[in-house]
Amino acid sequence: MNGWQGPQLGADPESFWEGLHRSLTASDRPTNSQLVETAGALTPGAALDLGCGGGGDSIWLARQGWQVTAVDISATAVARVVAKADELGLGDRVTGERHDLADSFPAGTFDLINAQYFHTPFALDRGRVLRTAALALRPGGRLLVVDHGSTAPWSWNQDPDAHFPTPDEVATGLDLDPRQWRVLRADMPQRRATGPAGQTAMVTDNVLLIRRDGEIG
């Protein structure tokens, strides 16, 4: 998304994101480092990748043995992830579903739900979506939420007054019963990121990791 000059925000969300993904060349996408750090030590099970985008996380999870449901509002993004999985011989491990998460959520329960940079310039009750995700965890399952904690020089959002909710603020907004869901991690690490033109900058990630300990009611 960074540095992309595509449809204006007057478009509806589906058209906006579909236009974005059609404007991008299908190619290998990097895996988000916080996912590798979190999931690398877990026993593979059922994973849900919310806002799968270019599919780097979905493909990495499938390579590790996870059964992945890759979800995006863009049909093009979903189709490309599925095609890439088929190309790599991982087609039996990746299922693609198109959802506008403002209106629908994938069925089923999961051992890992991955929500990386789950931001949108459109109105969305993000807290409700993430709470629904937490409710879809199996006992022992984890919800990983990685948000932008700073503005990169190439970001499409250059509002100097932008507020980036802290991991603690996100966790509080989910209003989960602490007897059933435990916050395992809530911090704001920095990393060196690379922009679309190869430029680099230090950025902050807001990382929240929640585990469901209680039984599904």
User: Could you write out the DSSP letters of every residue in 7-44?
Assistant: S-TTS-HHHHHHHHHHHSPP---PPPHHHHHHHTTSPP
Look up the pTM and report it: 0.87
Report, at the CATH architecture level, how domain 33-212 is classified.
3-Layer(aba) Sandwich (3.40)
Q: Which amino acid is at 20?
A: L
The per-residue pLDDT for range 75-117, each reduced to its tens digit, is 999 999 999 999 999 999 999 999 999 899 999 999 999 999 8
Query: Computed over its alpha carbons, how large is the radius of gyration of the chain?
Result: 17
Q: How confident is the model at residue 160 (pLDDT cuts 50, 70, 90)?
A: low
With CA atoms as reference, report the closest residue to 56 among 110, 17, 114.
Answer: 114
Q: Which of 106, 98, 118, 91 is nearest to 32 (CA)?
A: 118
How would residue 149 be classed by pLDDT, with cut points 50, 70 and 90? confident
Single-letter amino acid, residue 121: P
Whether the predicted pLDDT of 165 surpasses 60: yes
What ranges make up the beta strands (E) of 36-163? 46-50, 67-72, 94-98, 110-116, 137-148
